Structure 1
Amino acid sequence: MSIVPIRLFGDPVLRTPADEVKTFDKEFRKLVRNLTDTMLDEGGAGLAAPQLGVGLRVFAFDVDDVIGHLANPVLEFPDEEEQDGPEGCLSIPGLYFDTVRRQNVIAKGYNEYGDPMQIVGTGLMARCLQHETDHLDGILFLDRLDPERRKAAMKEIRSAEWYNDDVKVKISPHDNKGVFFKK
């Protein structure tokens, strides 16, 4: 078992887009194990490599008793249906905020050996796949909140015991609606 410390809100690595995985070797498989072990130890639904300080496009997930991982994910949305519900993040521990996401998603990518794979997700799995892919793009779920929800979330974050006042927090430069919402 290899548990790695999780980077918390305010760490610049969480705002840095990750690099594509190009080498699916023993070292990469070790990273996938670290992601999975750390996620399971923390009881999370997903964990992306940047949350461990590694700038590679891979994440692990554990949703509805399905445990896996996906490298270099590309998301497709088969319809416009949305969901609005509580979302949390291991890098923002203990806090949950209602976040709008797409209800259905198809995620294409690769397994730890570089073999192509596809995950069709709905509901919580769709939310997880979108959340973790966002991490790989330097986007936090807070960026997906409307201004009123974001303001309330930031207030709660600033009062959390783990929050570090010395860290300068920047709002994401990314369009907070991105590909997940109708313009």
Structure 2
Amino acid sequence: MAVRPILLYPDPILKHPTAPVSFKDPALPDMVQDLLDTLEASPGVALAAPQIGYPVRMIVVDVTRKKGAHGHGLVVLINPRVLHQDGPRVVREGCLSVPDYTGNVRRFEQTVVEGTSPDGRVMILTTSGFEAQAYQHELDHLEGTLFLDRLDSLSTDLFRRRGR
């Protein structure tokens, strides 16, 4: 349908938990397409609905957009949730909604996520590495949490991107 603007921190929509998606919502197909179109037009590998102004529980992830990354390919999940996580670690991550910074955050090496595809199929994905990190990051958006909220220290764990 349309490439929508990506909301930037400190937009208040980014800080609010989202509502479950109803499959009876006639706007659902348009919201899915807007999420896909906006991700395609961005330099990112994943996007959550609140980042484009939809306060609902929906994400799109495709880490294979990053050179050398492996994963499940393009996946849209509606009403996703974490079933299991294992292997805590600290990783550097950024966000399309916080474009000028990256930060060191605690994530899990493996994450099992359950959600529903736009056509109504229940999906359970076992992810690891960068893909697991991307799913955790997007699921945080659905709770109104940004990677900035996960920093242990603003002085030692937040980094300005080069050239910005």
Confirm or deny: 8 A CA contact 1:17 1:136 kept in the other structure: yes
Confirm or deny: 8 A CA contact 1:87 1:99 kept in the other structure: yes
- The two structures, once aligned, show a CA RMSD in angstroms of 2.2
46 and 24 in structure 1: CA distance in 2 versus 1, 3 angstrom threshold? farther
4 and 152 in structure 1: CA distance in 2 versus 1, 3 angstrom threshold? farther
Equivalent position SS for 1:39: helix
Q: Which of 101, 110, 129 is matched with 1:104 structurally?
A: 110
Q: TM-score, normalised by structure 1?
A: 0.77
Question: Which aligned segments of 4 or more residues in structure 1 are displaced greater than 6 angstroms?
Answer: none
CA distance in 1, matches of 2:58, 2:141: 10
Deviations 1:96-135 (A, max 9, x none): 2122201100100101122211111100110011100000
Q: Which of 55, 67, 74 is matched with 2:74 structurally?
A: 67
Q: TM-score, normalised by structure 2?
A: 0.85
* Structure ranking higher in strand proportion: 2
Amino acid paired to 2:119 = Y
Q: Which residue of 1 aligns with 2:45?
A: 45
CA distance in 2, matches of 1:112, 1:137: 21
1:133 aligns with 2:135: no
Deviations 1:64-106 (A, max 9, x none): 2511111111102253x12322201000114221222011001
* Residue segments in structure 1 that go unaligned for 5+ positions in a row: 162-183
Confirm or deny: 8 A CA contact 1:2 1:38 kept in the other structure: yes
Percent identity, please. Answer: 35
